[in-house]
Amino acid sequence: MAIMSSPLTFQPILDRIIAEIEKTPGRGRPADYIPALAACDPHRFGMAVAELDGTVYGVGDWRQPFSTQSITKVFTLALDLAREADELWEHVAREPSGNPFNSLVQLEYESGIPRNPFINAGALVVTDRLHSQTGDAAGTLLDFLRAESGNEDLAINEDVVASESAHGDRNAALGHFMAAYGNIDNPVPVLLDEYFRQCSVEASCADLALATGFLARHGIRADGTRLLTQSQAKQVNAVMLTCGTYDAAGEFAYRVGLPGKSGVGGGVIAVVPGRCTLCVWSPGLDGHGNSMAGVAALDRFTTLTGLSVF
């Protein structure tokens, strides 16, 4: 039964969740295919909730910066959609993939058009198009995150960039494969550098909960200006719900019931349209690349508060 009666009870809810999470034995394993992430302690945990007016509640390591990784795909999608509108959807689809996030399998069958913008192939297309629009995809993303979070200290971790680049052969293969179909405009090495830098932004749960607020405000940024139309904000939230947690999106929707996006750094963002945004971080991942404790915490949040899109 939901026990929440007003926004003022967010903090007790978070306190209850972290107490429960600390008693949970299985935490998963950090992403070991990116050496810079492999050393993270899987028992670290932070969670933040941001209301529409910018009020933030948090517990645990909610102020600790971590590697955002694929969470940034939400923001590059929104930034490009704001510039290109429906033209973007001619280059990337909106369907769940059913395959791992770095799979090449479907591209051959679908003529170089990625299944959705949150698998790696789709994210590469979005970053490519944003770079063509701005001349600096990663810089545009970083400026946006700084503005929405109010944290000018947000930065790109160059050690993670180097680590991703040294182990980025599969992403390179995806980029070259799509370029062969004419679905990539920039030179693949340029695109890969922008993409690795994008994924290497470090931010905290508080930063990301605040930065995601425009999706709960139906496209309105923190300063009151509009980034997306209400329809476009709905589109982004819908793709997050159906595709945001790789090939475990159905399980996430079943357990959590919110639009969400995970990253292999252990972070997960989630949106309650018209009410609040959340970010949780714990580096231990399950077999799909999603934070075990993070998904469990979001499950408990929606159960305790009754806040869900269903």
| Catalytic member of 57, 163, 195, 261 | 195
Residues 6+ apart with CB under 8 A from 158: 200
Residues 6+ apart with CB under 8 A from 301: 13, 17, 49, 278, 307
Work out the pLDDT band at 100, boundaries 50, 70, 90. low
Percent of the chain with pLDDT over 90: 82
The DSSP secondary structure of 265-286, one letter per residue, reads TSEEEEEETTTEEEEEE---B-
| Catalytic member of 49, 57, 73, 201 | 73
d(CA 307, CA 281): 20
d(CA 257, CA 270): 10
Residue 195: active-site member: yes
| Catalytic member of 264, 272, 280, 295 | 264
Whether the predicted pLDDT of 5 surpasses 80: no
6-28 tens-digit pLDDT: 444 799 999 999 999 998 887 88
| Catalytic member of 70, 149, 200, 262 | 70
Residue 73: active-site member: yes
Local structure of 15: helix, strand or coil:
helix
Residue 97's pLDDT is: 75
Whether the predicted pLDDT of 66 surpasses 50: yes
d(CA 140, CA 128): 13
| Side-by-side strand order, sheet with 155-156 | 66-67, 201-203, 155-156
| Catalytic member of 246, 261, 272, 282 | 246
Work out the pLDDT band at 196, boundaries 50, 70, 90. very high
Residue 292's pLDDT is: 96
Residue 70: active-site member: yes
Whether the predicted pLDDT of 2 surpasses 70: no
Residue 6's pLDDT is: 46
**Mean per-residue pLDDT of the chain:** 93
Which tokens go with 165? 């680049």
Whether the CB-CB separation of 113 and 167 falls below 8 Å is answered with: no
103-142 tens-digit pLDDT: 677 788 888 999 999 999 999 999 999 999 999 999 999 9
Between 30 and 33, the more confident residue is 30
d(CA 198, CA 139): 8
